[in-house]
Amino acid sequence: MIQNAKQNGAMGNAIEPGLARKLIEAFEEQSNLLAKTGKTLVVVTTPILRRELASLVRQAAPDGLVLSFKELPETKRVNVVAIIGGAS
């Protein structure tokens, strides 16, 4: 949904307020869980969504990071601890 809006050139915020609120809550929850183990929230996404999601992550976890999968070196091992979103 967000990706389609961006690709079609929709102006303004591509994430509707209700979804943004749910994402912020999910980012905050994961950030709190990771903090208990001394880790920082890092969200990996597509380049087209990076900026929108970074804005939301900053609200939930000011020290959190948002990276595009294109920014990750191919040799870097990634440990997935949670997937936010998708089918319910």
In a domain, 82, yes or no: no
pTM confidence score: 0.79
Number of domains making up the chain: 1
Give the pLDDT score at 11. 42
- Count CB-CB contacts under 10 A for residue 34: 17
In a domain, 79, yes or no: no
| For the chain, percent of residues with pLDDT exceeding 90 | 68
CA distance 13 to 83: 23
pLDDT-derived band at 10, boundaries 50, 70, 90: very low
Range(s) of the domain holding residue 53: 2-71
Helix axes 50-60, 17-35, angle to 10 degrees: 60
In a domain, 87, yes or no: no
**Residue pLDDT, tens place only, 32-65:** 999 999 999 999 999 999 999 999 999 999 999 9
In a domain, 85, yes or no: no
- Count CB-CB contacts under 10 A for residue 43: 22
Give the pLDDT score at 14. 73
